[in-house]
Structure 1
């Protein structure tokens, strides 16, 4: 039996919600368990429905996608967050990554690409549609390969780049959270990179993640 991805859809436009639900329910491995029209409603419904992934707009009334993402990462840290937005502004995207979003897809993508993004994020990866990637990385220089990184630092970098928290990395690598924090600081110092976007760009450029 196929394990279905339990998805909560969040958008303040009913027409968008209806269209997304109708399209995604055609996929055999996706189950739309609930919909919400703002971030606060999404948080409340998620407490009851326990989704695997939240597909959420950024600009919404009551509680927007950015603030909702921050709260999801505190209240339900295991839930994957995939943003779906019309905004390709670098600051928007950077803020959401730093708040814990696992991916960012522009609303002009095909339905096939949206399904790919959902599957990628659900499986633990990060996903940025081409328009979002262009906006995010257009002014981020790719550092040269640093030969001074240890195997453990590279392992931590890979997990940081796919969006895991310090606690999740510590559990995965069987080390303490304090040790993860030390490795992250060493990465910043050695690579001279001080943003999550920069670390993702570095990991992609040097084929540490797909």
Structure 2
């Protein structure tokens, strides 16, 4: 079923050549409207809040706030906007964590323009899309132990505060996220580390040198 209005999209990538290259190509498609492009998640969020895009195409490795941490911010403030990650990394951890946080798809940067457009269309219509390399990474054998799974930078920040005895509400205020998001982070941290109690998290943080 075709749309009666163009798919509104915002591009976020800290590499100018990549950003302008994708933008110039997408602007040749009549059914896609590029609302703006930004070199960081924070700048991209400002454009998104003003334009209410259907899709945000976002890189993962960026300064200040990486793409994975940015997913939760976009989902909280723009719940109806779909997030499509674009990365050179085919790491299973990156892909699965992006999906867990709310991304609707994951593309590797070596895909063709036609595939990027197809992914945008699929995600904008409510579906999900993973490029071949990303899908293969997801299908690969899981790590033997969840303890080997690294925490995201945001999860590390939450763990540090929790280990210091800070309440969920205080963590939310310090990190400028909702209490519900903090609770989700705690759940994911416990699952990844195989630890079920707050005392256990504190012990882990101390033994790993995160706190004195």
TM-score of the two chains, using structure 2 as the length reference = 0.65
Q: Which runs of 4+ in 1 moved over 4 A?
A: none
Distance 2:64 2:42 in 1: 7
Alignment of 1:48-197 (within 5 A): 48-139=50-141
Structure-2 residue corresponding to 1:23:
25
Deviation of 1:130 (Å): 0.3
Write the deviation string for residues 23-55 of structure 1: whole angstroms up to 9, x where unpaired: 111111000011111111111211111111100
Structure-2 residue corresponding to 1:199:
none
Secondary structure in 2 matching 1:35: strand
Write the deviation string for residues 133-175 of structure 1: whole angstroms up to 9, x where unpaired: 00111126xxxxxxxxxxxxxxxxxxxxxxxxxxxxxxxxxxx
Structure-1 residue corresponding to 2:146:
none
Secondary structure in 1 matching 2:72: helix
RMSD: 1.6
Deviation of 1:2 (Å): 4.1
Q: State the structure with more CA Rg.
A: 2
Distance 1:46 1:26 in 2: 21
Q: Any stretches of 5+ residues in structure 1 without a counterpart?
A: 141-193, 195-210
Q: Any stretches of 5+ residues in structure 2 without a counterpart?
A: 143-190, 192-212
Distance 1:77 1:118 in 2: 17
